[in-house]
Structure 1
Amino acid sequence: MTLPSTTKVLVIGYVWPEPRSSAASGHVMQILETFLEQGWDITFSSPAGPGEHKADLSALGIREVPIELNNSSFDTFISALAPDIVLFDQFMMEEQFGWRVEKHCAAALRVLETSDLQSLRHARHQRLKDRLKVNQDQDDFTDLFAPGLREEFELMADTDLAKREIAALYRCDLNLIISPTEIKLLVEQFGLSPELLHWCPLMVDRPGLEPSGYTEREHFLSIGNFRHAPNWDAVLWLKTTIWPLIRAQLPAAQLHVYGAYTPPKASALHNAAQGFHIMNRAEDALQVMSAARVCLAPLRFGAGIKGKLIDAMLCGTPSVTTPVGTEGMHDNHPWPGAVVSTAHQFAEQAVQLYNDQLRWQQAQQWSLELLEQRYQRTTHAAALIERIHACRQLLPQLRKNNFTGSMLRHHTLKSTQYMAQWIEEKKRDK
């Protein structure tokens, strides 16, 4: 098969990218930049309204075309565009538009960008809620971080969200998975073929300048979009349990909590007398991270890999987090900071890192080594393009091999199509 010299790509986004607000949007931007480097012709579409901090895609040479849910205008649009590749950003976009893509450009390679397994994240959130109902202890969450892959599967398998998300993965020709732990879960427990999956973590370049040193920094920092449930839970755990333990050992310590879309309930946590500062959105996340001595990320649930911890590495800022925070991020490489399972351990390790210059400097060095070994942009960008080329050349055979996906498209998408057409007709009647 001879590939055209100019490849047309349509990206259907759940939202318009806001790379300074979330790691998920940052990952989408990294993928778009990788495609641009190939000289590909890119159109980005979304049914969502533009957010406050939306990236200017048109300035990069990417066409921006709003689309509507349950509207046949999309059929006309995609037929005229005739893309060679369609990338769905999050599985809900594949649910909404997958059948239309198949109907009007069946030969296009269908790629799903997951950011994280939402069904895994939601199942873990429910497990935390259930645990807190029966056990109000806010210190030791070792049991929460202990389950193996089979236990995670058992937790997810009966949920509607998992059935929808895994079905979308099967229906696509290639799925970009950010965490190797999630690839293992999908292959070993849900039975997906490795042919359908590609490891595509956050892709970054090692900073050109050496990060600032121990004596040039002060304060603790926590950062994350407040709309993301794991981040909000982490702030609450910090406020109620962990930060008082740190302040008991460091009475003058200050914690700066940054996050996009700060709700009133978060602003209400601000208490300067306790050294707990809600700082709202950081205009430059790397700048505030570079000024902090230690990053705190007490995540009790979540999935994927954590953009805030990649940013910490880029800035040479040691971090204290949980096994959920480091999942899929460092393999056998030492973590550049500390990984703990209890609030008391968290406070102890945070204080030690803050006070011990030699240990802090070792953690900073590990940050830079881990970035180079695991997250090099050029390495992963090349691997992604190579995999996409291979899938396009072998597409007919790949689809034959993926009979489950073909079967799901035949049955599931028919019902989705008829539902969408019914909703469109109902809107016309009003």
Structure 2
Amino acid sequence: MNQPATKVLVIGYVWPEPRSSAAGGHMMQILETFLTQGWDITFSSPATIGEHKADLAALGITECAIELNNSSFDDFIRELAPNIVLFDRFMMEEQFGWRVEKHCPAALRVLETSDLQSLRDARQQRLKDDLKAQPGNDDFSALFAPGLEDEFQRMADTDLAKREIAAIYRCDISLMISDVEIRLLTEHFKVPAALLHWCPLMLEPPTEAFAPFDERAHFLSIGNFRHAPNWDAVLWMKNSVWPLIRQQLPGAQLHIYGAYTPPKATALHNAAQGFHVMNWAEDALQVMTAARICLAPLRFGAGIKGKLADAMLCGTPNITTPVGAEAMGDEQPWPGAIAHSATALADAAVSLYQDRERWTQAQEHGRQLLARRYDQNIHGPALVECLEQCRNDLAAHRRNNFTGSMLRHHAHKSTQYMSQWIEAKNRNL
């Protein structure tokens, strides 16, 4: 007798757009991993549908729009009766977690963190403070210097960190795209390692020959403009990095692609300066393959960078910062260069752009790095194994996470008491 298919409910912060953001691409990789297991997937979201939404129905995934603060979700989840509920970002766990606890307490609760938003927010604030203190600063070595203990000290008192880490405790497993963030959580926030699973980008390693040096031209930068680190990087390139590159390469051209290009970004377009704002790329890998260098001068952020993984997939060496490279590489050579200042970034970009031998070596380093860290044939099965083991021993897993059980209990009870109070108040009106 066949076992019934595992039912998975995904509660998405947004509808996935794999061609617009790394987060959307990672969600699709997770969904595709589940599909290979024959699992029955329903994807729901309270968000409006974006113009680049993936066609989930074509993959056999049921789509369902839901609403915030609407009791209709109760009937929906009771009828669906999922075995696994995956929350896309901690805000969805905050909004819907208590309803899942109420109606499907035995369902495995999984949190897709995408990145630690509280870490990204703390780093953004540090950058603002740095720019305010040193408006003309070119060298951001001090900005990139803090270790994990320093990050913890800056994050620990923030409301965002408390909310985000509470959601991690309330879930049975949180998927972490960055192993650096796992160390931050386990070593400094003291989150039990059993609650976290390293799930980086899951990619098919390239096997074809890359387009060679002589068939490439120009610099490229890419990233969703709604993502604050990307917009900051564009401004830094416009004001500091790109003018320094043009001083050494007067004919250089930079093509900047990104979904949801706002007027403030379009206004930066200047063909005379070789600074081209190109809007959304229909095929990001195609434009990446045509470029000789990928520029990613990120001054803050968290997680890992899909644009740099795409660059490696296309054999395009990159120039980035310590924040851009964080959690992406290992002890082996980086497929490009990592620098701390606008001057150093520009010098590295110009040098690599002109040096065929170094460029070809960097290209190969990217291929090797993908094989070592991002092979879907390793991380996909590991994700399934983690979830199945947790499901099979869920009672013990939750006993060992007493803090999470306590937080779920209080979240459920507080909303229950509030609902009862509202109902009583309405009866007395």
CA 1:425–1:336 in structure 2 vs 1: closer, same or farther (change >3 Å)?
farther
- Take 1:333 and 1:324, find their aligned partners in 2: how far apart are those partners? 17
1:20 aligns with 2:22: no
Contact 1:138 1:343 in 2 (8 A): no
- Take 2:321 and 2:194, find their aligned partners in 1: how far apart are those partners? 31
- Report how far residue 25 of structure 1 moved: 0.6
Helix, strand or coil: the match of 2:350? helix
1:282 aligns with 2:281: yes
- Report how far residue 413 of structure 1 moved: 3.9
Q: Give deviations 1:84-127, integer Å, cap 9, x for gaps.
A: 00000000000000010011011000000011000000010011
- Take 1:424 and 1:74, find their aligned partners in 2: how far apart are those partners? 18
Contact 1:70 1:420 in 2 (8 A): no
Q: Give deviations 1:159-202, integer Å, cap 9, x for gaps.
A: 11000000000000000000000000000011111100000000
Contact 2:127 2:143 in 1 (8 A): yes
Tell me what 2:214 maps to.
215
- Report how far residue 211 of structure 1 moved: 1.3
CA 1:22–1:424 in structure 2 vs 1: closer, same or farther (change >3 Å)?
farther
Residue pairs, 1:82-161, within 5 angstroms:
82-161=81-160
Tell me what 1:74 maps to.
73
CA 1:426–1:9 in structure 2 vs 1: closer, same or farther (change >3 Å)?
farther
Q: Give deviations 1:228-277, integer Å, cap 9, x for gaps.
A: 00000000000000000000000000000000000000000000000000
CA 1:44–1:423 in structure 2 vs 1: closer, same or farther (change >3 Å)?
farther
Q: Give deviations 1:278-297, integer Å, cap 9, x for gaps.
A: 00000000000000000000
1:62 aligns with 2:61: yes
- Take 2:86 and 2:98, find their aligned partners in 1: how far apart are those partners? 14
CA 1:418–1:134 in structure 2 vs 1: closer, same or farther (change >3 Å)?
farther
- Report how far residue 404 of structure 1 moved: 0.6
Gap runs ≥5 in structure 2: none
- Report how far residue 27 of structure 1 moved: 0.3
TM-score (norm 2): 0.97
- Take 1:127 and 1:84, find their aligned partners in 2: how far apart are those partners? 41
- Take 2:80 and 2:416, find their aligned partners in 1: how far apart are those partners? 21
Alignment RMSD: 1.8
Contact 1:71 1:424 in 2 (8 A): no
- Take 1:180 and 1:361, find their aligned partners in 2: how far apart are those partners? 28
- Take 1:197 and 1:227, find their aligned partners in 2: how far apart are those partners? 28
- Number of residues of Structure 1 aligned to a counterpart in Structure 2: 426
Give the letter aligned to residue 282 of structure 1. Answer: A
- Report how far residue 210 of structure 1 moved: 1.4
Tell me what 2:229 maps to.
230
Residue pairs, 1:350-361, within 5 angstroms:
350-361=349-360
Tell me what 1:202 maps to.
201
- Take 1:192 and 1:89, find their aligned partners in 2: how far apart are those partners? 20
CA 1:176–1:417 in structure 2 vs 1: closer, same or farther (change >3 Å)?
farther
Give the letter aligned to residue 119 of structure 2. Answer: L
TM-score (norm 1): 0.97
- Report how far residue 137 of structure 1 moved: 2.5
- Take 1:110 and 1:254, find their aligned partners in 2: how far apart are those partners? 47
- Take 2:328 and 2:224, find their aligned partners in 1: how far apart are those partners? 20
- Report how far residue 420 of structure 1 moved: 7.4
Q: Give deviations 1:31-85, integer Å, cap 9, x for gaps.
A: 0000000000000000111111111100000000111111111010000000000
1:322 aligns with 2:321: yes
Tell me what 1:304 maps to.
303
Tell me what 1:411 maps to.
410
Give the letter aligned to residue 269 of structure 1. Answer: L
Helix, strand or coil: the match of 1:256? strand
Tell me what 2:343 maps to.
344
- Take 2:220 and 2:145, find their aligned partners in 1: how far apart are those partners? 27
Contact 2:85 2:110 in 1 (8 A): yes
Using the aligned pairs only, state the percent identity.
71
- Take 1:312 and 1:370, find their aligned partners in 2: how far apart are those partners? 12
Gap runs ≥5 in structure 1: none
Helix, strand or coil: the match of 2:110? strand
Give the letter aligned to residue 360 of structure 1. Answer: W
- Take 1:108 and 1:162, find their aligned partners in 2: how far apart are those partners? 25
Helix, strand or coil: the match of 1:243? helix
Q: Give deviations 1:385-404, integer Å, cap 9, x for gaps.
A: 00011000110000000011
- Take 1:305 and 1:325, find their aligned partners in 2: how far apart are those partners? 7
- Report how far residue 423 of structure 1 moved: 8.8
CA 1:258–1:418 in structure 2 vs 1: closer, same or farther (change >3 Å)?
farther
